[in-house]
Amino acid sequence: MTSRRFPLSGLLLVAPALAMVAAMFVFPFVLSVVSAFSSPAGAPTLANFAKAFELYSGDIAFTLLIVGLSTVLIALASIAIAGTLTLSETPWLVTALAWLYRWPLFIPFIVAAQCMRTFLAKNGLMNNSFVTLGVLDPDSTQSFLDWRGIVITFAWKQTPFVALLLAGAMASLDRATIEAARNLGASRLRSLIEIVLPQVAPTLLVGLVLSFVTMLSVLSVPLMVAGSQPTMMTVDMAFRINSYSDYPVANALGVISYLFTALAAWVYLRHSLGQERGQP
């Protein structure tokens, strides 16, 4: 039973929150799009995009590459973790894994960036540990403080989130399907891929799309972990604003990042709509 008498009161209650979204998001969003397409005189133009490509085409491609690669890595890692948690038959492994994997979950990106900045350096803790263990020799250590460091940081920070979502989804599955497969002789890996994964695919997709959008927006990690060329679009946007007050080009880069997000959303919608159509 819902209150039928005052539908207006419902809207009134939601109004302040909606107003906040309108003022602090929708309005600046519209501003950014308008600014990206406007010339200094106010006329519509594509010149800002032309300039953005002239200066930053490498970085634009680079951003897509990094975020895409990170998303793939996150998918693989979180499937592995969630799969192990659900299907493993070694209790101590499950306990250890469950305790370990959540650590990076609530660590902010900026702290993760600081960790990685010293961990991944040529003489950082990671390389030094490998050298001490005899796995690497000192002259061949590499600094990972470039695009690889950004990918590693993103994957490190976001995997626990997606793994948490996935593990929750897998835990709520009907175990009968898994057991049926195992009884028929399927290996655990096969049951994971052919039975479990298709059923939790929607959750996985949600987690990945959320991660994709989040990573597109991060400024601290590329600023702190990588050198300045090539770098992600967010750094270029900050640079244009801070050094030149060049809003049009910065906003043009912003619109390009919106397009990337739209791409991810389209992938998600196609998959989930396809799912619905497939159901009777």
Residue 93 CB, nearest approach to another protein (Å): 5
Nearest CB to another protein, comparing residues 26 and 180 = 26
Nearest CB to another protein, comparing residues 105 and 180 = 105
Residue 113 CB, nearest approach to another protein (Å): 8
Which residues, 6+ apart, have CB-to-CB distance to 64 below 8 Å? 260
Bridge partner list, 274: none
Residue 198 CB, nearest approach to another protein (Å): 21
In the Cβ-directed half-sphere of 72, how many Cα atoms lie within 13 Å? 5
The Cβ of residue 45 has, within 10 Å, a number of other Cβ atoms equal to 15
Residue 16 CB, nearest approach to another protein (Å): 4
Distance from C-alpha of 89 to C-alpha of 131, rounded to nearest angstrom = 35
Nearest CB to another protein, comparing residues 194 and 275 = 275
Residue 45 CB, nearest approach to another protein (Å): 18
- List the one residue out of 222, 220, 228, 226 whose CA is nearest residue 110: 220
Residue 181 CB, nearest approach to another protein (Å): 21
Nearest CB to another protein, comparing residues 103 and 179 = 103
Nearest CB to another protein, comparing residues 158 and 251 = 251
Nearest CB to another protein, comparing residues 71 and 234 = 234
Mapped onto helix, strand or coil, the DSSP state of residue 192 is helix
Distance from C-alpha of 138 to C-alpha of 140, rounded to nearest angstrom = 6
Q: Is the Cβ–Cβ distance between 225 and 109 less than 8 Å?
A: no
CA angle 237, 240, 241 (to 5 degrees): 90
- List the one residue out of 210, 65, 238, 78 whose CA is nearest residue 146: 65
Residue 185 CB, nearest approach to another protein (Å): 19
Residue 239 CB, nearest approach to another protein (Å): 5
Q: Is the Cβ–Cβ distance between 204 and 35 less than 8 Å?
A: no
Nearest CB to another protein, comparing residues 27 and 194 = 27
Q: Counting every residue, how long is the chain?
A: 280
Nearest CB to another protein, comparing residues 127 and 191 = 127
Mapped onto helix, strand or coil, the DSSP state of residue 279 is coil
Which residue bears the tokens 């793994």? Answer: 163
